[in-house]
A = this chain, B = another copy of it.
Amino acid sequence: MTEVKNKQVILRDYVTGFPKETDLKIVEGTIILNIPEGSNHVLLKNLYLSCDPFMRNLMNKKDGPKDTLSYTPGYALGGFGVSKVVESGDPKYKKGDLVWGFTQWEEYSLVPSPKILFKIEHTDVPLTYYTGILGMPGVTAYAGLYEVGSLKKGENVFVSAASGAVGQLVGQFAKLADCYVVGSAGTKEKVDLLKNKFGFDDGFNYKEEPDLNAALKRYFPEGIDVYFENVGGKTLDAVLLNMRVHGRIPACGMISQYNLTEHEGVTNLTSIIYKRIRIEGFNSSDYYHLYPKFLEFVLPHIREGKIVYVEDIAEGLENGPSALVGLFSGQNVGKQVLVVAHE
């Protein structure tokens, strides 16, 4: 039995309001680099961890309905990541395999085999992509637009948090469907990315728009068919006034609300009635059966350079807290990745 040091990022205590770096803590534990006798667990060396907005919700104290989950204070965070198999109790995986799925924020993790979502078969693209365009955010953008959002060719699409892990893909996928696409983001640099790197038709900095309703009317004089919802709150409220009849709102996240102790009230929901709008919350977990089809769609576009993916890469577990916390003030430019080890 080999025991090694195992650095971890743990939750210090449940979080109220905006998370701070000090809500998380780096600790050094140890781990035995062997699978327990008879276990079908898999021992992973974590390479790249994904910083995702939903992780904020897992920092809340669990006191709601039984179907909500939380992190446990004193234990490592969980999240999506790319890992290398060190040893496997499940014959589906063998030493050296690269995989992506749900792992822990630490150097090595012993995980139940079903937490691994997919073996990585294509390594001619950056491995970090499996935390983003080729991972959960990719499936989210794809399923959100096409399945939940029933996107049709040539429609008017608005996406918030548009330069983020999911948003940048939503815009590019919608452009492939000949849609008119506008995104909002929180800095000039991000808006420039939308227009100059991701090929959006237009973009705006929501922080510089005193009247979001007026801004949306300017960019969508004919109204919005599909709003890909990442932020909630005031943006959603303004969007509702600008949706077209039979518009769809695939709701992937509401990051503007996650850190508020009192959520903003959304006042324009009667638009749902008047304009027969569909809002549907979703996450990738209901859509992984589409993953093979999604890879077939997206890999050629990546290889041909027709779809690009911007990542914001932090190096080292000890930078995990700042990388994760930074998401909630929009410090990341593109998909926030945390490197634990380069293989």
Residues of A within 8 A of B (CB): 57, 64-65, 67-68, 223, 232, 236, 241-242, 244-245, 251-254, 257-258, 262-283, 286
Interface of A is mostly: loop
- Which of these, B253, B264, B273, B282, contacts A281 with CB under 8 Å? B273
Taking the closest CB of chain B, its distance from the CB of A71, in whole angstroms, is 15
**How many angstroms from the CA of A64 to the CA of B242 in the assembled complex?**
9
Residue of A254, A268, A276 with highest tally of chain B CB at under 10 A: A276
Judge whether B265 and A65 touch: CB under 8 Å: no
Which residues from B are CB-within-8-Å of A251?
272-273
Judge whether B270 and A258 touch: CB under 8 Å: yes
Which residues from B are CB-within-8-Å of A258?
270
Knowing A264-B265, A276-B283, A283-B276, say if A232 contacts B270 (CB, 8 Å): yes
Residue of A57, A241, A270, A274 with highest tally of chain B CB at under 10 A: A270
Judge whether A281 and B274 touch: CB under 8 Å: yes
Judge whether A273 and B286 touch: CB under 8 Å: no
**How many angstroms from the CA of A236 to the CA of B269 in the assembled complex?**
10
**How many angstroms from the CA of A131 to the CA of B64 in the assembled complex?**
43
11 contacts between A and B (CB under 8 A): A65-B242, A67-B274, A257-B269, A262-B267, A265-B265, A265-B267, A266-B269, A273-B281, A274-B281, A278-B281, A280-B280
Knowing A251-B272, A264-B267, A269-B266, say if A281 contacts B277 (CB, 8 Å): yes
**How many angstroms from the CA of A281 to the CA of B248 in the assembled complex?**
10
Judge whether B281 and A275 touch: CB under 8 Å: yes
Closest 6 CB pairs of A and B: A265-B265, A272-B281, A263-B267, A278-B280, A273-B281, A276-B281
Knowing A67-B244, A67-B245, A223-B65, say if A268 contacts B263 (CB, 8 Å): yes
